[in-house]
Amino acid sequence: MGLPQGYTFRKLQVSDYSNNYIETLKVLTTVGEVSQARFEELFAHWDSLPQLYQPHVITNEQGVVVATGMLLVEKKMIHECGLVGHIEDIAIATSEQGKKLGYTMITNLTQIAEAAGCYKVILDCSTHNIGFYEKCGYTNGGTQMVKRA
Amino acid sequence: MGLPQGYTFRKLQVSDYSNNYIETLKVLTTVGEVSQARFEELFAHWDSLPQLYQPHVITNEQGVVVATGMLLVEKKMIHECGLVGHIEDIAIATSEQGKKLGYTMITNLTQIAEAAGCYKVILDCSTHNIGFYEKCGYTNGGTQMVKRA
């Protein structure tokens, strides 16, 4: 979907711990100390629930992770036991911005969610990113409210 | 937490299929045809992942479901493998509105999420509900974007 030559969109692999996955996430927010053991524990948890947690990455021509994105598929009672896709934790390595990796990540995760039968896909963003998500086919759906512990 | 006499906040039970659970959800949105077998299948799925899916209800003095709310607890890599609570599918029976059941549902689900270690709890709402969620301790965290299939 328009990725630069040699770039690949794929599922997260356990070997990505030492392949720039954590460093890429740090572009988004605080990650803190995540040891290889903790990474592997969480990876195994996600991997045990493959329909629910669908973590993806984009790698560059060296095979290094340069973008991250999670698709979380929630099973609801409403809409005849419908599925809703939640897109979470999109991060693009600073040195790789301007290559439309974010667009590819969002549109690919959206296609996966729709192919899985999700009746809608949702995500939360800052006001200054609304235009970007509109280009990805999204519309304003309301307000995110948050309470921090 | 200020519920009327005889009202109870508790986890969803499988017997709630025939106890006004589906009817209460219909106040929120389209539910469609959900047979008892499909309800029980989804209930069993939620019940198999008790840390992740935490569906709750409020019952009135007759023991009938009059409010619903889901707490979904996501395990993330960011924030040192932190937990985020998602509050979903809040519905209050039309005949029971004005009794602060929504406030009790939201604050109780939030407390459960925080007790489970969530570093934040998030939900999406319409603009006209922002004031209500502010009374529940929430602040505006951004914009929800949506793509419907």
Distance from CA of A117 to the nearest CA of B (A): 8
Exposed/middle/buried for A41, CB within 10 Å: 0-12, 13-18, 19+? Answer: middle
CB-nearest to B139 from A89, A114, A145 is A145
Per-residue pLDDT at B134: 98
pLDDT band at B1 (very low <50, low <70, confident <90, very high): low
Chain B neighbours among A 1-20 (CB < 8 Å)? none
Per-residue pLDDT at A10: 98
Domain that holds residue B117: 8-123
Per-residue pLDDT at A83: 97
Q: What is the CATH number of the domain that holds B26?
A: 3.40.630.30
Mean pLDDT estimate for chain B: 96
> Which residues of chain A lie closer than 8 angstroms to B49, CB-CB?
49, 52
pLDDT in tens, B96-106: 989 999 999 99
Please state whether beta strands A118-125 and A83-92 pair in parallel, antiparallel, or not at all (unpaired): parallel
How many angstroms separate the CA atoms of A107 and A58, rounded? 13
**Among B91, B74, B92, CA closest to B83:** B74
Closest residue in A to B21 (Cα–Cα): A77
Domain presence at residue B148: no
- Amino acid type, B43: F
Report, as an integer, the average pLDDT of B66-83.
96
Residues contacting B121, CB < 8 A, separation 6+: A146, A147, A149, B84, B85, B86, B87, B109, B110, B113, B114, B138
Domain presence at residue B23: yes
Continuous segment of H or E residues that includes residue A8: strand A8-11
The number of folded domains in chain A is 1
Distance from CA of B120 to the nearest CA of A (A): 4
Distance from CA of A62 to the nearest CA of B (A): 24
Domain presence at residue A141: no
> Does A23 have pLDDT greater than 80?
yes
Per-residue pLDDT at A93: 95
Q: What is the ipTM of this complex?
A: 0.94
CB-nearest to B146 from A31, A127, A138 is A138
**% pLDDT > 70, chain A:** 99
Domain presence at residue B59: yes
Chain A neighbours among B 16-45 (CB < 8 Å)? 21-22, 25, 28-34, 38-39, 41-42, 45
> Which residues of chain A lie closer than 8 angstroms to B140, CB-CB?
143-146
Higher pLDDT among residues B30 and A43, named by residue? A43
Domain presence at residue B101: yes
Per-residue pLDDT at B31: 84
Domain presence at residue A29: yes
Pick left, alpha or beta for residue B100 (phi over 0 → left; psi -120 to 50 → alpha; otherwise beta). Answer: left
Domain presence at residue A147: no
